[in-house]
Structure 1
Amino acid sequence: MSYQNDIDEFHAFLESEGLKIETFKYMDARNYLSVLYDKSLKRSTVSRKISTLRSYYHFLIEIGAVENHPFLSLPFPRKEKKLPTFLYENEINALFESLDQSSKMYLRDKAILELLYATGIRASELITLKRERIDFNYQIIKVYGKGSKERIVPFNESAKSSLVEYIEHFKKHIDHHDSLWLNYRLEPLTIRGLRHVLDMMVKKSAENFDLHPHMLRHSFATHLLNNGADIRAVQELLGHESLQTTQKYTHISKEQLRKTYLNTHPGNQKR
């Protein structure tokens, strides 16, 4: 359906501009691309329309209706870079406050939330973390990230306290399974199980967002940069190969700063 709509829209453009499909040239195609951009369409939508017209002209050439392909060399728009989603500090606090202290797994849930937010480690890094890789004296963990590359990540006093309390309470089961994280049946927790744990946290907090481990990782990085952390230090903590990967979090900071300015500066208020 969208294919036919794209074709119809193109023919409407030809008619409005007094152009003919047989004599339509590359520069006309560039002009049409500008018209699409002026409509504030998503880049993915523009790409689809250009792809449709490329296929359409392939067909027209095959049947001998046209000789030239004006869209063949037309570049596709670059994909939109989505900024990572993150939680504000008050949303993080709401998650902690919503944890059910009467729950059998309260200590585990608190320790998971504390460690994910305190370190920014990935879900896979959390699940595979072993007890012996945690140094409580120096408050650091040894993490094996992508490509089995090792890095050292510090954690705060709050995360330390939660981890110690959790490990002491479930020590027998942790030692038996040689797994730091346990599910409700006191068996090793999986990635899927971790996602369920986080989903339940959100439901109990009555917050309206989809929580996943990477959102806590994004929040960790964003909050560090917002509070003046050096970007290369954040890169090291996250285990990013490229600084460019870490720089996406500065875009979040800048956008947050812009919104704060627009919402609070008196000069931006209607007079």
Structure 2
Amino acid sequence: MEKATGILEGFLSYLLYERKRSEETVKGYRLDLLDFLEFLKKEGVKGLGEVTYHHLRSYVSFLSKKGLKKASVARKVSSIRSFFKWLRREGYIEKNPSALLSSPKYRRPLPRWLTEEETVRLLEVPGDEDPQGIRDRAIVELLYSTGMRVGELLRLRLSDLNLEQRLIRVKGKGGKERLVPFGEKAFLALREYLNIREAFGPKEDFVFLNRFGKRLSQRWVQKSLKAYALKGGIFKPVTPHLLRHTFATHLLDRGADLRAIQELLGHSRLSTTQRYTHVTPTRLMEVYDHAHPRARKPLQGDHDPLCEA
């Protein structure tokens, strides 16, 4: 299977440079497919052209017996299907054995989000006494103010910022660009950080830098958010993606149009946006009481027949 590893590198390059997938996404594909190739090696498979549907089903069964969650198995199956589809198109194999391979069905858990009060507590935790605190406050404010993915935030360069109009040029999935506005609080936090950015000894033009002057890592942001949440008395698993859900939910809760939220999040399909947005019970009752003719007691002089029937 040594040749297969070299072919895999060609597939990963295709994802990175032609499909414009992020480095983190490609890293996920690499780990999934290397694990799969190791399984094939143990099964005595000599080359990719020998792989059958039976091998694929055996691998899925192997993963399930290992105790992997259905969501993890489904992700690995998706990686395998993409890989074999590419192999067939590039002429490495004559038939695609994964064409009929299905992912295990599982229910997506409803994503969580922060309440407005919890969000305020989180935003107030990073201090402003030192450069790291100032930088981290700007990061948290921007994640909440824009709904950006953490990878999109960390790929921002100075030239992507338009402070005068409070707009950011964001490069999303597949290399698609979109303009995202940000609010007053985020503007003030970002401006304060940019004023002290030289303290990090910049070696690159990325907006957010580590102590070595290079681009900050996603792991650092995730770890910092978790620590700030605990300091703020928030005991939910706070992640950058949770802030993305929170951004969308708060906008919808205050009457924003779903298609506008779709544009801000950079989703190509509205159905994806719907998974990110949740109307809180309080807002749901307000909308219901206001809109449904039989939801409230009729006021004096109110002769709505649907209220009286």
Which one is further off, 103-112 or 137-146? 103-112
Q: Distance in 2 between matches of 1:200 and 1:254?
A: 26
**Residues 1:128 and 2:180 are matched in the alignment:** no
Q: Secondary structure at the match of 1:229?
A: coil
Corresponding residue of 2:66 = none
Q: Contact 2:151/2:218 (CA < 8 Å) preserved in 1?
A: yes
Check 1:85–1:259 CA distance in 2 against 1; reply closer, same or farther (3 A cut).
farther
| Root-mean-square deviation (Å) | 2.8
- Match runs of 1:184-199 below 5 Å: 184-199=211-226
Corresponding residue of 1:91 = 118
Q: Contact 2:127/2:137 (CA < 8 Å) preserved in 1?
A: no
Check 1:103–1:169 CA distance in 2 against 1; reply closer, same or farther (3 A cut).
closer
Q: Contact 2:143/2:243 (CA < 8 Å) preserved in 1?
A: yes
Q: Distance in 1 between matches of 2:192 and 2:224?
A: 19
Structure 2 residues not aligned, in runs of 5+: 1-69, 71-102, 288-294, 296-309
Bigger radius of gyration, 1 or 2? 1
- Match runs of 1:1-271 below 5 Å: 79-171=106-198, 173=200, 175-250=202-277, 252-253=278-279, 257=283
Runs of 4+ in structure 1 over 6 Å off: none
Structure 1 residue 186 displacement after superposition: 4.5
Check 1:254–1:99 CA distance in 2 against 1; reply closer, same or farther (3 A cut).
closer
Q: Secondary structure at the match of 1:240?
A: coil
Q: Distance in 2 between matches of 1:78 and 1:234?
A: 28
User: CA deviation digits over 1:148-194, x for unaligned, max 9?
Assistant: 10111001111111111101111364643222112245443111111
Q: Distance in 2 between matches of 1:174 and 1:129?
A: 17
Q: Contact 1:86/1:215 (CA < 8 Å) preserved in 2?
A: yes
Q: Secondary structure at the match of 2:279?
A: helix
Please tell me the residue identity of whatever aligns with 1:194. V
Whose relative contact order is higher, 1 or 2, with alpha carbons under 8 Å and at least 6 apart? 1
Structure 1 residue 103 displacement after superposition: 4.2
Check 1:82–1:255 CA distance in 2 against 1; reply closer, same or farther (3 A cut).
farther
Structure 1 residue 255 displacement after superposition: 5.1
Please tell me the residue identity of whatever aligns with 2:193. Y
Q: Contact 1:121/1:238 (CA < 8 Å) preserved in 2?
A: yes
Please tell me the residue identity of whatever aligns with 1:215. L
Please tell me the residue identity of whatever aligns with 1:253. V
Q: Distance in 1 between matches of 2:235 and 2:286?
A: 22
Q: TM-score, normalised by structure 2?
A: 0.55
Aligned length: 189
Structure 1 residues not aligned, in runs of 5+: 1-43, 45-75, 266-271
Check 1:180–1:254 CA distance in 2 against 1; reply closer, same or farther (3 A cut).
closer
Q: TM-score, normalised by structure 1?
A: 0.63
Corresponding residue of 2:59 = none
**Sequence identity, in percent?**
39
Q: Secondary structure at the match of 2:209?
A: coil
Corresponding residue of 2:19 = none
Q: Contact 1:167/1:174 (CA < 8 Å) preserved in 2?
A: no
Q: Contact 2:142/2:186 (CA < 8 Å) preserved in 1?
A: yes
